[in-house]
């Protein structure tokens, strides 16, 4: 007897509240077979189908007016292979649960993003990444995929399968939900290791002057620039022999919860109510966090709590263009009437071989701009996007942008490979929505 939950749906909203959808029905399958049956039933009813994770995308990548698949019951680790050093996990598993389970087994992912609320399939399908000199996005750590395709069949693929399976694997690791619904992912893992994090304030001009050196000397380098100031907060993560030395609990609460979340939330409310106060708030905020060094297991170093809600745009530019990009961004903010209360985040990634990865074929730097939830963001994002696209920037698939198929066909050399594969796997566009129509074509 099926245990699938099927129901009429109300309005679905993403985490930031900037995207809404009204699907005809929602389906919460318990097994892959039930998910496949839901796709076949949608085809019978001539409805589109999309899967949605935790809604952490700022684009409408998962929105649908058809059938909304919620994978939260497709969770948990299916298999740990210590000989191959891989873990196979169901698609609806939150990254937080995966990281904690791996740590209990003495294992870890090599690199990860800065939050872990997303499902593994949502995070990888949109190209979620952290920062790394040598280690890249979550999707590059995938060794195998299982997905339900438009005809309701289950397809498994890896880099060692048939020609078609290899083609699917090359594209579906960052598939934006266009090729099928991912039901399981096999990740490469390694023995649990320690990272030493060194966080310290640094002047904006010094970071830009020393950017190449900071990138080359550290396994993971990132920084936050506070608009309306010449200040940044830098973070360097490198592997360590130990001993483990976590941030003291009181310090951790004060910096990560009170300053970065509690006080920051209040500061944004004040800035939203009285925009003229934002430059002063930015000066105070940029000096509030002190230098600190700590050593811990990877997910506790890579990730941080993010409780203040925002809207985000992020573009990957060629790494050699990032200093010019940032100078132009700062000059734009300085000469404008914009009031920006959120810091700009800068990270890096090596080139990879995934068809529509933002780092596909080129070493990249990521520049992310944010605005507090509920604050008008269009003027800031439009001006920033103009700068990013002048450097052939590629937008994160899950973050706000206005780019379309014509643009992507120019900045992704293998774009036509992806669309040709989509034509084969989903000729009737069962997984289509307005967002995919814009970025991939009809």
Domains of the chain: 77-191 (3.30.465.10), 194-395 (3.40.462.10)
Supply 236's token pair: 């360097």
pLDDT tens digit string along 249-282? 555 544 555 446 566 676 766 677 777 777 777 7
When the pLDDT of each residue in the chain is averaged and rounded to a whole number, the result is: 92
- What is the distance between the alpha carbons of residues 127 and 138, in angstroms, rounded to a whole number? 7
* Predicted pLDDT at 152: 97
Q: What is the pTM of this model?
A: 0.93
Q: 361, 415 in Cβ contact below 8 A?
A: no
* Predicted pLDDT at 254: 43
DSSP state string for 132-167: -SS---GGGGEEEEEEE-TTS-EEEEETTS-HHHHH
The mean pLDDT of 373-379, rounded to a whole number, is: 93
pLDDT tens digit string along 195-216? 999 999 999 999 999 999 999 9
Buried b (16+ CB within 10 A) or exposed e, 326-361: bebbbebbeeeebbbbbbbbbbbbbebebbbbbbbe
Residue 5 has pLDDT above 60, yes or no: no
Residue 174 has pLDDT above 50, yes or no: yes
Residue 353 has pLDDT above 60, yes or no: yes
């Amino acid at each position: 007897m099926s245990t699938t939950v099927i129901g009429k749906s109300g309005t679905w909203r993403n985490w930031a509240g900037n995207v809404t959808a009204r699907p005809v029905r929602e389906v919460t399958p318990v097994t892959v077979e039930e998910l496949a049956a839901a796709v076949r039933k949608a085809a019978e009813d001539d409805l589109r189908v999309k899967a949605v994770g935790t809604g952490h995308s700022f684009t409408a990548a998962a929105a649908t007016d058809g059938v909304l698949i919620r994978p939260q019951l497709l969770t948990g680790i299916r298999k740990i292979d210590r000989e191959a050093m891989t873990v196979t996990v169901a698609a609806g598993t939150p990254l937080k649960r995966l990281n904690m389970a791996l740590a209990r087994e003495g294992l870890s992912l090599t690199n990860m993003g800065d939050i872990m609320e997303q499902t593994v399939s949502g995070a990888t399908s949109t190209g979620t990444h952290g920062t790394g000199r040598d280690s890249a996005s979550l999707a590059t750590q995938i060794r195998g995929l299982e997905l339900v395709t438009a005809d309701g069949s289950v397809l498994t693929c890896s880099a060692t399968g048939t020609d078609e399976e290899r083609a699917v694997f090359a594209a579906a690791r960052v598939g934006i939900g266009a090729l099928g619904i991912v039901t399981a992912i096999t990740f490469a893992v390694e023995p649990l290791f320690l990272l030493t994090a060194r966080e310290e304030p640094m002047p904006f001009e010094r970071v830009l002057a020393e950017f190449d050196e900071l990138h080359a000397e550290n396994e993971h380098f990132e920084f936050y620039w506070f608009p309306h100031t010449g200040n940044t907060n830098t973070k360097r993560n490198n592997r360590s022999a130990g001993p483990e030395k976590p941030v003291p609990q009181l310090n951790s609460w004060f910096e990560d919860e009170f300053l970065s979340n509690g006080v920051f939330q209040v500061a944004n409310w004040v800035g939203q109510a009285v925009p003229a106060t934002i430059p002063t708030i930015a000066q105070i905020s940029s000096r509030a966090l002190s230098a600190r060094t700590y050593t811990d297991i990877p997910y506790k170093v890579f990730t941080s709590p993010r409780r203040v809600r925002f809207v985000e745009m992020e573009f990957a530019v060629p790494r050699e263009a990032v200093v010019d990009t940032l100078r132009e961004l700062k000059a734009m903010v300085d000469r404008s009437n914009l009031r920006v209360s959120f810091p700009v985040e800068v990270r890096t990634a090596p080139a990879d071989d995934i068809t529509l990865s933002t780092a596909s074929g080129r070493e990249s730097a990521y520049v992310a701009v944010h605005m507090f939830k509920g604050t008008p963001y269009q003027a800031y994002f439009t001006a920033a996007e103009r700068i990013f696209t002048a450097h052939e920037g590629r937008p994160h698939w899950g973050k706000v942008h206005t780019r379309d198929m014509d643009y992507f066909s120019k900045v992704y050399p293998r774009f036509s490979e992806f669309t040709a594969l989509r034509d084969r796997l989903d000729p009737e566009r069962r997984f289509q929505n307005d967002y995919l129509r814009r970025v991939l074509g009809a």
